[in-house]
Amino acid sequence: MTHAQLENLNIDAFDLMPSPEQIHALLPLTDTAAATVASGRSQMQRILDHEDPRLFVVVGPCSIHDPVAGLDYAGRLKQLADAVADTLVVVMRVYFEKPRTSTGWKGFINDPRMDDSFHIEEGMQKAREFLLQVNEIGLPAATEALDPIAPQYLGDLIAWTAIGARTSESQTHREMSSGLSTPVGFKNATDGDLEVAINAIISAASPHSFLGISSQGSAAIVRTRGNRYGHVVLRGGGGRPNYDSVSISLAEQALDKAGLARNLVVDCSHSNSYKKPEMQPLVMADCIHQIVQGNGSIVGMMIESFIESGNQPIPTDLSKLKYGCSVTDACVDWPTTEKMLRDAQRALQPVIKLRKAT
């Protein structure tokens, strides 16, 4: 029996991918973008260290599918970010990879043409170009890390990273997180289990060695130092939300038991809003109220937001796509987004400097 009869039986082809170094050379990090990334990371680290009493808010589309609409949104968000900077550190949600329970569009990197042609090399280059443009206007970017190789291509342009509910339990993603240069938010499991996220934080804080790629694109043993800025993202689960004061208290107790800092980020979407975008403002208002009443553990919020409300299916004729409307999870529209952040600012202004380290 030959090797050909044993190996790669279900592989059609191996198409060469440009190395991270090659993509970086095409789209190099600029001084302006580097300053934005460094500032965004530093501000969130200070918030997680309870040295900065403000909240960070990760806000933006469920996924990026149209860079033109995405940049339109980024320009609006930058103006709003500057207006609320006394109480909120605003970071744009820039998600290029979409985990799938079964099938569906896998995101801009995997399928930038949205036609199942999977020009990943094109998607990666366009994703880096988009991130550069967002950071160039002074707006830090957040993303979900799904493919363990992607950070080598894009990691220098990211200020905050999420590990999703489906992957917080994955050893691969915990190891990857231990080497990321950003703070990392681990979501509780889809069934609501918080222990998965807590174990992920502990694991990611430790050094790891695993297989990956170098900046030259060669197979490499990646050896990490550990990431001390892991924290929990509460996104609800198991058919119920977990942002209410009782759930927050239980999460604080679980963090105390594990010997971890009381750092909680609340995702206003997903199970916390029953995937109904019109409920996201209610989630945020409840959490802001808890902070006003003295809560010190809620350090951040997440909002799924775009220019238009709701979502839309991907049509065969892409010219039929509605501008500025999500093709994945439903979002709140821009006027609602602006109201959510300005309302939060007004409520927090009298108390933000009184927040105590916990």
Buried b (16+ CB within 10 A) or exposed e, 201-228: bebbbeebebebbeeebeeeebebeebe
* End-to-end Cα, the chain, rounded Å: 64
**How far apart, in whole angstroms, are the C-alpha atoms of residue 132 and residue 136?**
6
Q: Which helix (H) or strand (E) holds 167?
A: none
**Within 13 Å and on the Cβ side, how many CA atoms surround 238?**
8
Report CA dihedral (143, 106, 340, 279) to the nearest 10 degrees.
-140
156 contacts: CB under 8 Å, gap ≥ 6: 24, 29, 34, 37, 181
DSSP structural state of residue 156 = G
- For the chain, which residues make up each domain, given as ranges? 19-312+322-354
Question: Which residues sit opposite 186 in a β-bridge?
Answer: 163, 232
pLDDT (tens digit per residue) in 22-77: 999 999 999 999 999 999 999 999 999 999 999 999 999 999 999 999 999 999 99
pLDDT tens for residues 203-226? 999 999 999 999 999 999 999 999
Q: Cα separation of 280 and 302, whole Å?
A: 9
Scan for tokens 């029996």, then name that residue: 1
Per DSSP, what are the bridge partners of residue 143?
161
Residue with tokens 């105390």: 256
Give the pLDDT of residue 1: 61
For position 265, what pLDDT does the model report?
A: 98
pLDDT tens sequence across 319-358: 999 999 999 999 999 999 999 999 999 999 999 988 854 4
- The two most distant CA atoms of the chain are separated, in Å, by 76
273: pLDDT confidence band, cut at 50, 70 and 90? very high
Place of tokens 């239980």: 250
> How far, CA to CA in Å, does 226 sit from each of 61, 70, 122, 261, 333?
30, 33, 32, 16, 38
For residue range 149-187, what is the model confidence (pLDDT) as tens digits? 999 999 999 999 999 999 999 999 999 999 999 999 999
Identify whether the C-beta of residue 341 lies closer than 8 Å to the C-beta of residue 90.
yes
Q: How high is the pLDDT of residue 5?
A: 78
pLDDT in tens, 188-197: 999 999 999 9
Q: What is the mean pLDDT of residues 255-283?
A: 97
**In the chain, % of residues over pLDDT 90:** 93
For residue 109, the 8-state DSSP code is T
The pairs formed by 98-103 with CB atoms below 8 angstroms and a separation of 24 or more are: 98/63, 98/146, 98/328, 99/144, 99/146, 99/164, 99/166, 99/167, 101/166
Instruction: State the Cα–Cα distance between residues 147 and 124, nearest whole angstrom.
Output: 12
Q: Which amino acid is at 241?
A: P
Could you please state the CATH topology (level 3) that the domain comprising 19-312+322-354 is classified under.
TIM Barrel (3.20.20)
Mark residue 143 as left, alpha or beta (left: phi above 0; alpha: psi -120 to 50; beta: remaining).
beta
Burial class (CB in 10 A: 0-12, 13-18, 19+), 76: middle
Are the C-beta atoms of 183 and 189 separated by less than 8 Å? Answer: no
pTM of the model as a whole: 0.96
Residues pairing with 230 in the sheet: 184
